[in-house]
């Protein structure tokens, strides 16, 4: 029911109000607006003002996406249309850029790149790291192998026993066994990922299926922006042959090791279809720039 | 309690979308079941209290007290009480006040709601009446939206994941499989819950208790005895609007009602064998368990992960299926909770907690603005 006198009182109240900036304490997207508020979903935020008072108000459609802690400024905008055709204005807030405001929408997330060895995970990661410096950071891998000169990624060496203890204590939230050169265990620690979040940066992890499953279980599937990387080629056979070519040209591994890696690559690629729910996007890495560009668009949506 | 108040038993309708039944029809069925199950003569009833929120908005029926009184041959004095979703708990609390004061010796308590006569968006609009009409509603917020604000803040503060929330709904649905009165008697996997349509981010359809019709009735008495007694009946309030509260990831009304109830009964919270909790939204369940003092803030999800909340666990919660799976006919819920506790204590529950002698019913109105807590024992 349209209670016109109630709206009149609200307008009088707005006239008396001291329009203040504030910051977002929480927000939600209303998917099914009540009568009069139009068919399109909109965002309502709980806002704390500079003087400590709070209010509930819609956010405007312009401005950057909201985040907890983001700063907002008030505007007077149309909020609803009564059945009589009367348009009603009320306070709406625009999210503005502030120093130290969280960059990413919703809560923090992790960018996971998954693909067979040789597909180009490391190269893409390095490219993203330099493109988005200092907004992204690679999460160090905790592993039971010795560091190598050829290591390009941040890396923490621990003994088998330490690794086991960290898994038991729940510090390592995802782990797997890698077989390049020889077998070793590797995983990611929650505290490393959280440390990146704390700096309001986006953590990047390179994963195989087991690591991805572990992370998705521990952090929640929605927390992970999961990209699968495929080698170029129109068939699985051609993709594997492209991988073989890349692995050989690296010159780091023996033929036996390469064969092992190819076998696990085949399993990884199968997982793209059998465990498709673990992936948000699949990219074919035929040209590095296009692949990086596609991932960049996901991370920083263009308006 | 100033008097020993006995729970003689009661009855309820099935909860669900009951197109064939009117509000009065639902009430009649619950009252008939209650008198049948307790074997009491209708004329022994001295007073009637009915809890209902949206009789006027959804069933075009106000004046419910007298409406119900007319179902009994001697037209006893009757009144309707309302505290949004806590209307049922408030009805029990009001009946206890009648009994303790000596105004009545046997009271029929009813909770009833008929929502599905009107379109869903009208129900959504009417449910928002549980929040503050001047501070909350003008922004276009819905009732699910208010809880969504709480949910996002809670998930953000305590690193709760999507699947964590789904685990709560999952356990309610699994418990309801054996409950013949439940609206949804089907297990729903966590993945399905996590992928259900968004209602108000981050809350999804299967985080929310459904829109339901239904009625429940119990009979309380100081004159007639029964093995089950009410050990405490408490009612507490806090600011209606979220904007007037210091924080939104805990509800002060639950904390106040719980501490007063434990003091009234002289119980330790760990002596309670089973809990019927107001799980109107998945995130609410977690907040309630923390407010009731069963774990630290942000820790409640652990109880679900460790299976403590199952009927065989150390802290059985909503083994009836709760609001999520049984359905949530607003005013009926608080009365149905007392009935479920009664069934547990008299070993008649479909999902029986072995050796249960003490039970707790927690009913919430609005976003934790009203809370009633009842402690029952044999």
Rounded to the nearest angstrom, the minimum Cα separation between B236 and chain A is 23
Provide the annotated active-site residues of B. 85, 328
Can you name the residues that pair with A175 across neighbouring β-strands?
A187
Per-domain residue ranges for chain A? 4-97, 110-139+191-299
Whether residue B324 is predicted with pLDDT greater than 80 in this model: the reply is yes
Q: Provide, as residue numbers in chain A, all residues whose Cβ is less than 8 Å from the Cβ of B133.
A: 6
What pLDDT score does A15 carry? 84
CB contact at 8 A, B52 and B87: yes
Beta strands at A155-157 and A141-143: parallel, antiparallel or unpaired: parallel
Q: Give the DSSP H/E element, type plus range, for residue A258.
A: helix A255-274
From B162, B191, B243, residue closest to A222, measured CB to CB: B162
Question: Can you spell out the DSSP letters for A123-181?
Answer: HHHHHHHHHSTTSEEEPPEEESSPP-TT--S-EEE--HHHHHHHHHTT-EEEEEEE-SS
Rounded to the nearest angstrom, the minimum Cα separation between B56 and chain A is 13
- What's the CATH number of domain A110-139+191-299, 1.25.40.10, 3.40.50.300, 1.10.1200.30, 3.40.50.2300? 3.40.50.300
Interface of B with A (CB under 8 A): 121-122, 124-125, 128, 133-136, 138-142, 145, 148-153, 155-156, 161-164, 191, 194, 197-203, 241-244, 248
From B151, B197, B200, residue closest to A30, measured CB to CB: B200
Whether residue A289 is predicted with pLDDT greater than 80 in this model: the reply is no
Task: Give the range among A21-25, B285-289, B331-335 with minimum mean pLDDT.
Answer: A21-25
What pLDDT score does A108 carry? 67
- Spell out the domains of chain B, with CATH numbers in brackets: 5-119+211-221 (3.40.47.10)
Reduce the DSSP state of residue B298 to 3 states and report it. Answer: coil
CB contact at 8 A, B210 and B333: no
pLDDT digits (tens, 9 = 90+) for A69-113: 899 999 999 998 888 888 888 999 999 976 554 444 445 688 999
| Count of beta carbons in the 10 Å neighbourhood of residue A106 | 19
Contacts across the A-B interface (CB distance below 8 Å)? 110
pTM attached to this predicted model: 0.72
Confidence check on the interface: ipTM exceeds 0.90, yes or no: yes
What does the alpha-carbon distance between residue B1 and residue B342 come to, in Å, rounded to a whole number?
18
CB contact under 8 A, A29 and B125: no
CB contact at 8 A, B340 and B348: no
State which fold the A4-97 domain adopts: OB fold (Dihydrolipoamide Acetyltransferase, E2P) (2.40.50)
* Interface test mutation site (partner B, options A6, A9, A34, A49, max chain B beta carbons within 10 A): A34
CB contact under 8 A, B149 and A44: yes
CB contact at 8 A, B231 and B27: no
**Residue whose token pair is 């949506």:** A301
Q: Provide, as residue numbers in chain A, all residues whose Cβ is less than 8 Å from the Cβ of B148.
A: 28
Quick one: average pLDDT of B60-69?
96
Quick one: average pLDDT of B151-168?
92
Interface of A with B (CB under 8 A): 6, 10, 25-35, 37, 42, 44, 46, 53-58, 68, 79-80, 90, 106-107, 217, 219-223, 277
Reduce the DSSP state of residue A81 to 3 states and report it. Answer: strand
Whether residue B312 is predicted with pLDDT greater than 60 in this model: the reply is yes
What pLDDT score does A1 carry? 66
Quick one: average pLDDT of B137-144?
94
Beta strands at A172-178 and A87-96: parallel, antiparallel or unpaired: unpaired
Token representation of residue B253? 């009304």
Q: Which residues of B159-183 are buried (b: 16+ CB within 10 A; e: fewer)?
A: bbbbbbbbbbbbbbbbbbebbebbb
CB contact under 8 A, B138 and A221: no
Angle (CA) B371-B376-B378 rounded to 5° is 175
Task: Give the range among B120-134, B167-181, B265-279, B317-331 with minimum mean pLDDT.
Answer: B120-134
Q: How confident is the model at residue B123 (pLDDT cuts 50, 70, 90)?
A: very high
From A37, A107, A223, residue closest to B140, measured CB to CB: A37
From A34, A46, A221, residue closest to B248, measured CB to CB: A46
Q: What is the mean pLDDT of chain A?
A: 84
Higher pLDDT, B233 or A245: B233
CB contact under 8 A, A28 and B200: yes
Q: What is the mean pLDDT of chain B?
A: 96
Q: Provide, as residue numbers in chain B, all residues whose Cβ is less than 8 Å from the Cβ of A6.
A: 133
CB contact under 8 A, A42 and B145: no
Token representation of residue B77? 């004095």
Whether residue B263 is predicted with pLDDT greater than 80 in this model: the reply is yes
What pLDDT score does B98 carry? 98
Angle (CA) B272-B275-B276 rounded to 5° is 155
Whether residue B213 is predicted with pLDDT greater than 60 in this model: the reply is yes
What does the alpha-carbon distance between residue A267 and residue A261 come to, in Å, rounded to a whole number?
10
What pLDDT score does A257 carry? 82
With a pLDDT cut of 90, the percent of chain A lying above it is 26
* Interface test mutation site (partner A, options B56, B123, B147, B152, max chain A beta carbons within 10 A): B152
Whether residue B163 is predicted with pLDDT greater than 80 in this model: the reply is yes
What does the alpha-carbon distance between residue B178 and residue A198 come to, in Å, rounded to a whole number?
46
pLDDT digits (tens, 9 = 90+) for A30-72: 999 988 888 899 999 999 988 888 999 999 988 888 988 899 9
What does the alpha-carbon distance between residue A20 and residue B304 come to, in Å, rounded to a whole number?
42
What pLDDT score does A302 carry? 46
From B152, B162, B197, residue closest to A28, measured CB to CB: B152
What pLDDT score does A101 carry? 44
Whether residue A301 is predicted with pLDDT greater than 70 in this model: the reply is no
Higher pLDDT, B375 or A213: B375
């Amino acid at each position: 029911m349209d209670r016109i006198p109630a709206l009149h009182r609200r307008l009088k109240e707005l006239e008396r109000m001291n329009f203040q900036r504030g910051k977002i304490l929480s927000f939600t997207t209303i998917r099914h607006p009540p009568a009069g508020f139009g068919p399109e979903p909109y965002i309502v935020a709980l806002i704390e003002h500079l003087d400590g008072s709070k209010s509930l108000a819609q956010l405007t459609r312009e401005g950057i996406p909201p985040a907890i802690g983001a700063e907002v400024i008030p505007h007077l905008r149309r909020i609803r249309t009564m059945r009589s055709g009367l348009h009603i204005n009320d306070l709406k807030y625009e999210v503005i850029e502030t120093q130290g405001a969280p960059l990413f929408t919703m809560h923090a997330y992790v960018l996971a790149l998954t693909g067979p060895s040789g597909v180009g995970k490391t190269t893409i990661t390095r490219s993203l790291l330099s493109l988005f410096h200092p907004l992204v950071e690679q999460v160090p891998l905790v592993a039971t192998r010795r560091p190598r000169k050829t290591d390009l990624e941040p890396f923490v060496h621990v003994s088998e026993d330490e690794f086991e203890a960290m898994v038991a204590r729940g510090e390592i939230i995802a782990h797997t066994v890698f077989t390049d050169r020889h077998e070793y265990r590797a995983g990611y620690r929650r505290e490393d990922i959280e440390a990146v979040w704390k700096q309001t940066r986006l953590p990047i992890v390179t994963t195989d299926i087991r690591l991805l499953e572990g992370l998705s279980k521990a952090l929640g599937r929605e927390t992970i922006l999961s990209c699968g990387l495929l080698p170029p080629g129109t068939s699985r056979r051609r993709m594997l042959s492209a991988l073989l070519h890349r692995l050989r040209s690296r010159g780091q591994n023996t033929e036996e090791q390469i064969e092992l890696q190819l076998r696990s690559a085949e399993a990884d690629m199968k997982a793209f279809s059998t465990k498709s729910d673990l992936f948000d996007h699949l990219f074919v890495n035929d040209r590095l720039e296009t692949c990086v560009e596609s991932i960049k668009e996901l991370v920083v949506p263009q308006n | 309690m100033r008097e020993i108040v006995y729970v003689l038993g009661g009855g309820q309708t099935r909860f669900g979308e009951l197109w064939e039944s009117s509000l009065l029809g639902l009430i009649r069925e619950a009252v008939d079941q209650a008198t049948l199950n307790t074997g009491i003569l209708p004329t022994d009833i001295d007073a009637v209290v009915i809890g209902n929120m949206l009789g006027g908005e959804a069933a075009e029926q106000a004046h419910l007290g007298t409406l119900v009184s007319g179902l009994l041959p001697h037209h006893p004095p009757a009144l309707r009480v309302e505290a949004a979703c806590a209307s049922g708990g408030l009805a029990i609390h009001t009946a206890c006040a009648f009994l303790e004061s000596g105004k009545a010796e046997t009271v029929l308590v009813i909770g009833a709601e008929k929502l599905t006569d009107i379109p869903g968006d009208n129900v959504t609009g009417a449910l928002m009446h549980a929040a503050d009409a001047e501070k909350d509603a003008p922004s276009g917020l819905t009732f699910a939206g208010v809880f969504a604000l709480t949910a996002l803040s809670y998930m953000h503060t305590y690193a709760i994941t999507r699947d964590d929330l789904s685990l709560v709904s999952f356990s309610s649905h699994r418990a309801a499989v054996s409950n013949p009165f439940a609206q949804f008697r089907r297990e729903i996997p966590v993945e399905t819950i996590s992928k259900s349509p968004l209602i108000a981010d981050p809350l999804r359809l299967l985080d929310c208790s459904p829109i339901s019709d239904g009625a429940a009735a119990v009979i309380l008495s100081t004159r007639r005895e029964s093995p089950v007694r009410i050990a405490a009946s408490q009612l507490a309030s806090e600011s209606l609007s979220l904007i007037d509260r210091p924080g939104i990831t805990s509800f002060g009304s639950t904390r106040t009602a719980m501490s007063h109830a434990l003091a009234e009964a002289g119980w330790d919270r760990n002596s309670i064998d089973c809990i019927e909790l107001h799980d109107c939204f998945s995130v609410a369940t977690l907040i309630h368990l923390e407010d009731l003092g069963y774990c630290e803030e942000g820790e409640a999800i652990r109880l679900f992960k460790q299976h403590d909340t199952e009927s065989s666990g150390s802290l059985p919660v909503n083994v009836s299926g709760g609001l999520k799976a049984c359905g949530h006919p607003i005013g009926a819920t608080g009365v149905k909770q007392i009935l479920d506790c009664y069934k547990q204590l008299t070993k008649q529950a479909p999902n029986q907690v072995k050796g249960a002698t003490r039970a707790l019913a927690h009913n919430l109105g609005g976003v934790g603005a009203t809370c009633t807590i009842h402690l029952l024992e044999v």
